[in-house]
């Protein structure tokens, strides 16, 4: 330890060394970690910390410096790993409960710098304002988003219901960003909606994979089956993902018992998992079409990939987002947390989709929209009836299922005639 370090600085470094020793000596340590080299590299941190502690224009509190160092380290890993302070960790725990306060936007960091919309959640302030997949959020309340991690951005957009927040949106084809002022509200996500597109053809739309999603899908299937379900469209467009376990529970409703849904591989043995279908009553007796687009990410890609690999249904639409990493939430001793990428996931046939996405069996692009360089306001979403008429991907899925029904009836007729002879 350098002799001129202040006591506070020494305490910070000592704390880091203790944490390092615990991590390197614990059972989860990865093979090949060079302990001596890591300690050697801490000398640079010690040197910088000493200079900041002694010469920075303002005196900095040790906890703030330590959290800043940890946050910078984790942010340098990938866009999905983050350090969560105590408040952020508490907020993060509500993300999969289906109810939270905010705008209703699922975001990512694109190209390692751009805060980008994966998908707006239907029925939320962001969706009603016309924000769409691929929009870049360049400012929040006038503060540039470049350099922010995802959770910092989420924290800035959330707030007390009824309060306003202004975000600046840039869309491909625009010459400048557009300010959009939204009113925060409690976002209650109804993850599953279902309806009949036509007689015998059901549509189940999953907006997000939450704790109850599989149960809601089961209820939707039972309702559609009572009306004579002969073909199903599983709509995962604009679904940013959610819980890994929920995606497996949904996929297994359409796969034979024992079929692999997804497997994960990480550096630590505990992160290597093989998750297979174990549904009590899988639905195998009708054709399926799975709709996807660039807003379909993570858990959505797991479901689409499993159904595609096993030939259970046709995947239709456009190439998905391409998020194939698994994040583990690790609680820390002081009440903060770590959201850390710990594994990559693979489809049953061993495909990795990270930064690649799922390529549909049938590519159907949505109608091209003329760019608006300087829109007066963002276009508002259409009603469900209007969307159904203009939804060429959905209409194509209906055509495919109708053709499957006709082929099935013809095969049954030929079989019956052959038995009669």
Q: Tell me the CATH number at 270.
A: 3.90.226.10
Q: Which domain holds residue 125?
A: 101-188
Same domain, 216 and 175: no
Identify each DSSP E strand in 257-358 by its residue range: 260-266, 273-276, 288-292, 314-317, 325-331, 337-346
Residue 241 lies in a domain: yes
Examine residue 391 and state whether it is found in any structural domain, yes or no. Answer: yes
* Dist CA 404 CA 402 (whole Å): 5
**Which neighbouring-strand residues pair with 343?**
266, 326
Q: How far apart are alpha carbons 88 and 212 in whole angstroms?
A: 24
Q: Which two tokens stand for residue 213?
A: 């999603």
Same domain, 181 and 273: no
The CATH number for 179's domain is 2.30.42.10
Task: Among 151, 172, 188, give the residue marking a domain's end.
Answer: 188
383 and 298 both lie in a single domain:
yes
Of the candidates 298, 300, 325, 336, the residue annotated as catalytic is: 298
358 and 296 belong to one structural domain: yes
Q: Identify whether residues 225 and 166 lie together within a single domain.
A: no
Whether 166 and 227 share a structural domain: no
Query: Is residue 217 a part of any domain in this protein?
Result: yes
Whether 259 is a known active-site residue: answer no
Same domain, 16 and 163: no
Kindly state the DSSP code that residue 313 receives in the 8-state scheme: S
Q: Is residue 164 part of a domain?
A: yes
Does any domain span residue 91? no
Q: Which ranges in 80-211 belong to alpha helices (H)?
A: 86-92, 125-128, 150-157
Q: Let me know whether 203 and 218 are in one domain.
A: yes
Tell me, yes or no, whether 115 lies in a domain: yes
Are the C-beta atoms of residues 4 and 53 closer than 8 Å to each other? no
Same-domain check for residues 208 and 288: yes
HSE at residue 410, side-chain half, CA atoms within 13 A, is 6
Name the catalytic one among 168, 259, 323, 325: 323
- 351 lies in some domain: yes
Same domain, 125 and 164: yes
309 in active site: yes
Q: Is there a single domain that holds both residue 283 and residue 392? A: yes
- pLDDT by residue for the chain (421 residues), tens digit each? 333 444 454 544 444 444 444 343 334 444 555 667 777 778 888 888 888 888 999 888 888 888 888 888 898 898 889 888 887 787 666 555 556 678 988 888 877 678 999 888 888 899 999 999 889 999 999 999 988 888 788 888 988 889 999 999 999 889 899 999 999 998 877 789 999 999 999 999 999 999 899 999 999 999 999 999 999 999 999 998 988 999 999 999 999 999 999 999 999 888 999 999 998 899 999 999 999 999 999 999 999 999 999 999 999 999 999 999 988 889 998 888 999 999 999 999 999 999 999 999 999 998 776 555 555 566 666 555 556 668 999 999 999 999 987 776 666 656 665 565 5
Angle at the Cα of 119 from the Cα atoms of 193 and 395, rounded to 5 degrees: 55
How many CB atoms neighbour CB 138 within 10 A?
17
Q: Cα separation of 163 and 280, whole Å?
A: 46
Q: Contact, 180 vs 169, CB < 8 A?
A: yes
List of E strands, 267-385:
273-276, 288-292, 314-317, 325-331, 337-346, 362-363
How many structural domains is the chain composed of?
3
CA 282 to chain centre: 26
Same domain, 179 and 200: no
Per annotation, catalytic residue among 296, 309, 325, 336? 309
Q: Would 315 be classed as within a structural domain?
A: yes
Active site residue 34: no
Angle among Cα 308, 78, 107 to the nearest 5 degrees reads 65
């Amino acid at each position: 330890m350098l002799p001129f370090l202040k006591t506070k600085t020494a305490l910070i470094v000592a704390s880091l060394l203790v944490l390092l020793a615990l991590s390197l000596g614990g059972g989860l340590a990865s093979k090949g970690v060079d302990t001596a080299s890591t300690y050697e590299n801490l000398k640079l941190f010690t040197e910088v910390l000493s200079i900041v502690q002694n010469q920075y224009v303002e005196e900095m509190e040790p906890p703030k410096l330590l959290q800043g160092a940890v946050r910078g380290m984790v942010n340098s890993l990938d866009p999905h790993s983050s350090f969560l302070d105590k408040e952020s960790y508490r907020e993060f725990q509500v993300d999969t409960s289906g109810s939270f306060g905010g705008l209703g936007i699922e975001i990512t960091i694109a190209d390692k710098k751009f805060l980008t919309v994966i998908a707006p959640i239907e029925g939320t302030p962001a969706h009603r304002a016309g924000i769409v997949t691929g929009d870049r959020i360049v400012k929040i309340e006038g503060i540039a988003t470049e350099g922010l991690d995802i959770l910092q951005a989420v924290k800035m957009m959330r707030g007390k219901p009824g309060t306003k927040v202004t975000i600046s949106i840039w869309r491909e084809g625009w010459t400048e960003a557009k300010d959009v002022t939204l009113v925060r509200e409690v976002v209650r996500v109804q993850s599953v909606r279902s309806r009949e597109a036509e007689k015998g053809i059901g549509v189940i739309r999953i907006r997000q994979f939450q704790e109850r999603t599989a149960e809601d899908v089961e209820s939707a299937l039972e309702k559609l089956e009572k009306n004579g379900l002969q073909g199903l469209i599983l709509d995962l467009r604009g679904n940013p993902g959610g819980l890994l376990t929920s995606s497996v529970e949904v996929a297994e409703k359409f796969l034979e018992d024992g079929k692999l849904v997804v497997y994960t591989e990480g550096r630590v043995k505990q992160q290597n998992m093989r998750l297979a279908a174990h549904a009590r009553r899988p639905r195998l007796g009708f054709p399926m079409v799975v709709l996807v687009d660039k807003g379909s990410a993570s858990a959505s890609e797991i479901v689409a990939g499993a159904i595609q690999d096993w030939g259970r249904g046709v995947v239709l639409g456009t190439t998905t987002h391409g998020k194939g990493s698994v994040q583990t939430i690790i609680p820390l001793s002081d009440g903060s947390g770590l959201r850390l990428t710990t594994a990559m996931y693979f489809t049953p046939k061993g495909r990795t989709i990270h930064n690649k996405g799922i390529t549909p069996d049938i590519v159907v692009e949505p109608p091209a929209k003329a760019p608006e360089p300087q829109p007066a306001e963002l276009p508002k979403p259409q009603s469900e009836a209007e969307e159904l008429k203009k939804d060429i991907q959905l209409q194509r899925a209906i055509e495919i299922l109708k053709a499957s029904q006709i082929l099935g009836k013809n095969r049954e007729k030929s079989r019956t005639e052959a038995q009669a002879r």
